[in-house]
Amino acid sequence: MKDPATAARAGAAPEPGAVDLGPKPRLGYAGSALDRAADRRLDPAFLQSAESAADAGAYAVAGDLVVMRKGAHGLDPLFAPAEARALAPVDEAVFLGLDEGRARFGLGIAAAAVDGLKARSDLQLADLRSIAVQGLVAPEHLPPLAEAKAMLQWHARHRFCANCGAPTLSVCAGWKRDCPACKAEHFPRTDPVVIMLAIDGDLCLLGRQTRFVPGMWSCLAGFVEPGETIEEAARREIREEAGVICGRIKYFASQPWPFPMSLMIGCHAEAIATEITVDRSELEDARWFSRREVAQMLAGRHPEKLATPPPVAIAHHIIRAWVEVGADVLR
Ligand SMILES: [Zn+2]
């Protein structure tokens, strides 16, 4: 059997089975080791002693940016809570949970402090997407960072009561905002997004948004609308964006996506009418790709340098599952 790279150079695309995709990469932001310990959120004495414990840790987040300390072994996003609070004024605090009994917090740093922190030689600030894609921190930090960022962003956007407009107060260790004026309670939200790969046997449908880096193609995606099931949303998004009609929808996996606070619901979709009509307001382009072409894209061996999203994104895993088993992924 020809080596896949040699075959690609010779212009003969390898069969999917001949492409070594390597071990399955880790999905970003998923698989948190934290026990959220929700029963402790209403226990102020516990929370106070937990934050001052010697093994407590806090993530410092300023808007889209995560503060990290430069160390001999790379970047470390986990500070002692008192150390994190000394960095800058803290707008909001959230109890994230317990890591083998050690309390973890998310602290929202005032935006006005960002320039001062960026100027410090012992710190580095980066957005969470870059941190994940470039592997700037140990992977176990990504899920609690996603939790912290999504929660702190929710606080930043829900300072006033949606019912009466009065300022709201953070309670319950950051897991609720109460309105003292009208007594409404506001809970953190996660917005469901369907992200799906339409499949027609050994072909799959990929699209390009104008904001994508050159050469990157991905699954189609969109927000689930009120009154809709996941399956209905997946069929609607594919029909709206690409004109393709789908029947069977098979759930694959999900992923927290803290930009700002979504849950990506990954699916495979069986195409039953395959003619494409691209909605140019949503997509730059959409087309059918063969399984062996997509295998080259996943392996980074496409002759025209076309690529899929990186393993940090669930799209990579949805696409890879189909490349590995073909249309059987719908069973
Ligand atoms: Zn109110």
pLDDT digit string (tens) for 177-233?
Answer: 999 999 999 999 999 999 999 999 999 999 999 999 999 999 999 999 999 999 999
For residues 149 and 179, membership in a common domain is answered with no
Q: How far is the CA of 151 from the centre of ligand 1 (A)?
A: 20
Answer yes or no: is 16 within a domain. Answer: no
For residues 131 and 171, membership in a common domain is answered with no
Q: How far is the CA of 183 from the centre of ligand 1 (A)?
A: 6
Answer yes or no: is 135 within a domain. Answer: yes
- What band does 243 get if pLDDT is binned at 50, 70 and 90? very high
For residues 302 and 227, membership in a common domain is answered with yes
Say how many Å lie between the first and final Cα of the chain, rounded.
Answer: 30
Q: How far is the CA of 175 from the centre of ligand 1 (A)?
A: 17
Answer yes or no: is 18 within a domain. Answer: no
Answer yes or no: is 198 within a domain. Answer: yes
Number of structural domains in the chain: 3
Question: For residue 164, what are the domain limits?
Answer: 158-188
pTM of this prediction exceeds 0.95: no
pLDDT tens digits along 25-70: 999 999 999 999 999 999 999 999 999 999 999 999 999 999 999 9
For residues 103 and 213, membership in a common domain is answered with no
Answer yes or no: is 83 within a domain. Answer: yes
| pLDDT at residue 9 greater than cutoff 90 | no
Q: What is the model's pLDDT at position 22? A: 81
Q: How far is the CA of 161 from the centre of ligand 1 (A)?
A: 5
For residues 197 and 320, membership in a common domain is answered with yes
